[in-house]
A = this chain, B = another copy of it.
Amino acid sequence: MFSKACEYGIRATTFIALQSLRNRRVSLKEISQEVGSPMAFTAKILHQLAKNDILESTKGPSGGFQISMERIHTIKLADLVLAIDGNSIYEGCGLGLRKCNASKPCPVHFKFSVIRKELKTMLQGTSLFELAQDLETGVTHLKR
């Protein structure tokens, strides 16, 4: 469904959000360890998320990544996915047709539209705060 990069990105960002709620900035090293993702690859992803105003990054000793309290509430899963995987998951035709729309649909167009709309709604309705809180309470986990 999502690319590996996106999976890592969501896991990492959820971890960062949790630590930001505790007022802790976290380093790439800690993130990739806690999330079980390859460090250098994770660096690229976090860099991209920072460019997209999803994370704040700070260089130097005691540097790392963090998210402001306000952003933890306003950032939705949909924003992460968009920043990493682009909008293909929302836009693209289920059968890969370049021009597929309601007036010239592929055979699965309408059935897919339903599913995709629900996916979109779910992603747009899920905030980082929600994800981080489930982690905090120990309900959910991030490590493979």
Chain A contact residue count (CB 8 A cutoff): 40
- Selecting from A26-34, A41-49, A50-58, A135-143, the interface stretch reads A135-143
At the interface, yes or no: A96 with Cβ under 8 Å from chain B? Answer: yes
**Copies of chain A in the complex:** 2
Q: Which residues of A contact B (CB under 8 A)?
A: 1-2, 4, 7-8, 10-11, 14, 77, 89, 92, 94-100, 104-109, 111, 114-115, 118-119, 122, 126, 131, 134-135, 139-144
Cross-chain contact B10 with A144 (CB below 8 angstroms): no
In Å, the complex CA distance between A126 and B94 comes to: 14
Contact A108 B96 (CB under 8 A): no
Which has the most chain B C-beta neighbours within 10 Å: A100, A106, A139?
Answer: A106
